[in-house]
Amino acid sequence: MKCILCNIPMKQYLCKNGYWIYRCPRCHLGETDLKRDYSSFVKEFYSQGYYEGDPTRSAYVSYESDKPLIVRNMRKFLSFIRDKKPAGTLLDVGCAFGYFVELSLSKGYDAYGFDPSGFASAEAGKLVGTSRIQNGTIQSVRYPKHSFDVITLFDVFEHLQDPLSDMKKLASLLKKDGVMLIATGDTRSIAAKLFRRKWTFYIPPQHIFFFHRKNVRELLQSASLKPRTWFRVGKWLSLGYVLHLARTTGENPVAGWIYAHIQNTFLMRLPLYVPMKDNMVIEVVKM
């Protein structure tokens, strides 16, 4: 495998869930060796079980039940966006069940979204209308060029097959004075260094690329995009979601035992604020 930024051979970094993550010796960009066709992978992997607690997926226990907390986190992002672009057309990449599209519509944006999951995009269509939702990847969906004032990618960037090519495509959809907001994990965060292979972002195969501030800047600039603002956020998560991550990607048997004993109780829905701030949020504009 060669680094998409440096074009030099990457080295094996760690093996998890049966997949090797490679890392570039120069820029330290990480990449999962997926060993399968990406298009067929996303159709199969992001199925109903991904959103409903399938133990083979380090994902959601119940995306629908966690909606109040998911929207609570999204409001932080929308508040930032409204300071930059108080109105206009908005595209949410990897929109899942359409919660951010719904929230943006409620604040006056002409909002749309798409997701590679057939299950998720169908749920989003039920919520906000099928005319506002497409099912597909960045490369397969079709929108007019230069048609969006705002494009958002929340916990999506790390899932992309080819982030350089994908960002070039999204840049072509953004208006000249448009704003893009990206939230993804930071491999140089305190949490990443502390937990190492058990860090919650090291989740192959769904997480394919792993960034830090310097290499993500280099990638964005290669796509004629410029990071303008950086900040970090904590998250509101349900106890059930935290335990599910801990028992899967965290490889913690104690979390698995607790999860099994509270699985059918109200405790699963208890809200927790997790201030790890291992997510970096980047405001991006065209160069």
Q: CATH code at 122?
A: 3.40.50.150
What count of other Cβ atoms lies within 10 Å of the Cβ of residue 226?
13
Q: What is the DSSP letter of 46?
A: S
> What was the pLDDT predicted at 59?
86
**Coil, strand or helix at 278:** strand
Q: What is the pLDDT of residue 173?
A: 98
Pairwise CA distance, residues 31 & 101, whole Å? 30
For the cut 90, the answer to whether the pLDDT of residue 237 exceeds it is: yes
What is the average pLDDT score of the chain?
Answer: 95
Total of domains in the chain:
1
Closest CA to 273 of 34, 19, 72: 72
- State residue 188's pLDDT score: 96
pLDDT at 249 over 90: no
Q: What is the mean pLDDT of residues 189-208?
A: 94
| pLDDT confidence tier of residue 248, bands split at 50, 70 and 90 | confident
Q: What 3-state DSSP class applies to 145?
A: coil
pLDDT at 167: 98
Question: What pLDDT sits at residue 170?
Answer: 98
- Residue 21 lies inside a defined structural domain of this protein: no
Residue 231 lies in a domain: yes
Q: Is residue 65 part of a domain?
A: yes
pLDDT recorded at residue 57 = 81
pLDDT at 90: 98
Tell me if 25 is assigned to some domain. no
> Which of 51, 46, 6 has the alpha carbon at shortest distance from 24?
6
Domain assignment present for residue 84? The answer is yes
Domain boundaries, position 160 = 49-186+212-286
* Residue the block writes with tokens 């909606």: 67
74: in domain: yes
**Domain membership flag for residue 30:** no
pLDDT band of residue 15 (cuts 50, 70, 90) is very high
Output 4-7 pairs: Cβ under 8 A, ≥24 positions apart.
4/29, 4/31, 4/162, 4/163, 4/164, 4/219, 5/29, 5/164, 5/215, 5/218, 5/219, 5/222
User: Mean per-residue pLDDT for 132-137?
Assistant: 97
Question: What pLDDT does residue 9 have?
Answer: 98
pLDDT tens profile 37-77: 998 899 899 999 999 988 888 789 999 999 999 999 999 99
Cβ burial, residue 196 (10 Å; 0-12/13-18/19+): exposed
Other Cβ atoms less than 10 A from the Cβ of 106: the count is: 10
